[in-house]
Structures are given as C-alpha cells and as structure tokens.
Amino acid sequence: MTSPARGAPGQAGAILALTGPAYLWLAVAILLPLSAMFYFSFLSEAPMAGKTAEWTLANYRAFLEQDFYRTLMLRSLRLGAEVVFWCFVLGFPCALVLAKSIRGRAREALFLLVILPFWSNALVRIFSWTMMLRGNGILEKAIDMVFPGAGHLNLMFTYEAVVIGLVHSYLPYMILTCYISLQAIEDDLLEAARSMGASRLTILRRILLPLALPGILAGVVLIFVPVIGSFMEPRILGGRNGTFIGTVIEDQFTAVFNWPLGAALSFIMLGCVGVVFAVSRLALGRRG
C-alpha cells in the first residue's frame, strides 16, 4: 500500500474496505434519516404504533394556507439577513486588520484568539449573554456607570437579544472566511495601486472587496443557513419573543408530535434557503 496502485486487481476491494465503513455510517445516520423525513412529510400521520398513514400534500399546503407559518418563515429570513449583515459589518474590517496590518506571531496569536470561541460550546456562549442582557444585568450596570440615569435597556427576551447572541456566535465564521481570501491578495497589488495614487477607499472598493468576495459569500452562506435553523438561541435569549420557524419545527417534534408537519416545514425551510441563494446568485451574476 505504499504507491498508488492504479488499476491493480485488488484496488476495488481496497477502496470498498477503506471507504465502506465511513459511508455506511453516514448512510444510516444522515442520508437515510433525511430520506425518511422527506417521506414522512407527505404522510397524513407518522406510520408508527400500528397507525396507517395516507399520502397527502396537506403538510405543505398548511404552510401556504396559514399566515402563521409564512410570517414566521419571513421573520426567520429577516433574522438571518440581519445577523449576516452585522457579522459582515463587524467582521470584515477585523479580517482586514488581521490580514493586512498585523504581521508575524502577533497575527497568529490574534487570529487564534478570534476563532477560539467559535469552536467552543455554542450553548454555553449563548447562556453567557443572559448575564449581560438581563434586567439589572452587567450591560445595564456598565451603561449606568458611564451614563448615570440612562434608564433601563431591558434587552433580555427581545428580538435584539437574539440578534446579539447569534452575531456573537457566528462572527468568527465571517472573520475566518474573509481573512482567508484577504490574506491571499498580494501586497504588491495594493502597493501598485497606492503608488498610482489610489485612495484607501478606492483600494477597498476596487481591489479588496471584489477579490475578497468569495470569502465574504462563503461567510454569508455559513452563517445564514444555521441561523435560519436556530432554535436554542431564540428560546434562551428571545423568550416569548423568540418564536421563529426553527422553534416551531422543534415544537412539532418535541411538544406537538406532529412529525409529518415538522418534516414538511423543515424541507420548506431548506427550500427557502435555496431560493434565497439562487436569487442572490442571479443578482450578483448580473452585476459582475
């Protein structure tokens, strides 16, 4: 097994032996469950405990006919867009500073510091915000110290609290993807632009942003998708104001036990995400 044995008789067997176990596992734990969920989404009820189910489109129709689900889907899409927006606004300059104005070991250390929280426990990080945001919490006390008598913010259990928590969760993603593409831009290019008299704004608009676009888009996708499917963050930080399509799907599986409806809503959610990306791709393609 030391050299690539191309076309050797044992090759097919070796490939099967090496990839088989991993893909069998993925099939049982990911692909079959997703297929089963797709199947369930067309059933009148879960075909378990001796119940017989009929084929139906009612679960998908519920989404079209009831304003409730559509409103929530739009609310989730808006949440996704807002979180992505703030992640970009906060993260891109940060990636730029890291990639282009800090060098050597300091950059390595700072980069690690930025992405470290991202790979740590998401639930715990969301929980840590409750201490910041709650009434009479740390944030209010800090504001009170700087501006005495500024009044109460009372951010806990609001839409804004959910946005703050999610931005905190996903910001490192945007910094990471932007950093990778900004880092690949040759310094000579920037030097050339500057020597020809380009202002900082021009360099940003004509060189940095266009060349970093793949990284920005990767960040957008990597943040938008999980935010649309979030349910733990809105539950902890949003309270009664934290109802989104994700929490409704969770309810179908853990509280209401209408699994076919939950399945249909899940695929509608995936479909909406797909449509959003297709449309933005078209829009971007036209401009470029």
Partner 1 sequence: MRMLSLGGAGRVYLALVLLFLYCPIVVMAVMSFNESQFYTLPVKWSAKWYVALAGNERILSAAANSVGIAVLTTLIASVLGTAAALAFFRYRFRGREALQLLLFPPIAIPWLITGTAMLLFFFWIGIGRGLHAILLGHVALALPYVIIVTSARLKAYDPDLELAARSMGAPPWMVFRRVTLPFLAPGFLAAALFAFAVSFDQFVISYFLTVPGTSTLPVEIYTAIRKGFTPEINAISTIVIGFSMALLLGVARFYKFGGERK
* Segment lying near partner 1 (by CB under 8 A), choices 50-58, 114-122, 151-159, 274-282: 114-122
**Contact between 141 and partner 1 per CB under 8 A:** yes
182 and 96 Cβ atoms separated by less than 8 Å: yes
Phi-psi domain of 257 (left: phi exceeds 0; alpha: psi -120 through 50; beta: other) = left
**Contact between 140 and partner 1 per CB under 8 A:** no
CB of 282 to partner 1, least distance (A): 21
**Of the candidate residues 219, 234, 238, 246, the single one contacting partner 1 (CB under 8 A):** 246
End-to-end CA distance of the chain: 48
CB of 285 to partner 1, least distance (A): 21
- 165: nearest Cα among 72, 232, 97: 232
**Contact between 209 and partner 1 per CB under 8 A:** no
- 133: nearest Cα among 165, 94, 111: 165
- 94: nearest Cα among 75, 115, 79, 74: 115
CB of 213 to partner 1, least distance (A): 17
The secondary structure element, H or E, covering residue 156 is none
**Contact between 232 and partner 1 per CB under 8 A:** yes
By CB under 8 A, what part of segment 79-98 binds partner 1? 90-91, 93-94, 96-98
CB of 278 to partner 1, least distance (A): 15
By CB under 8 A, what part of segment 27-56 binds partner 1? 28-34, 36-37, 40, 46-48
83 and 220 Cβ atoms separated by less than 8 Å: no
**Of the candidate residues 144, 202, 253, 276, the single one contacting partner 1 (CB under 8 A):** 253
Residues in CB range of 182: below 8 A, 6 or more apart: 95, 96, 99, 100, 208, 211, 212, 215
By CB under 8 A, what part of segment 149-208 binds partner 1? 168, 171-172, 175-176, 179-180, 183, 187, 190-191, 200, 203
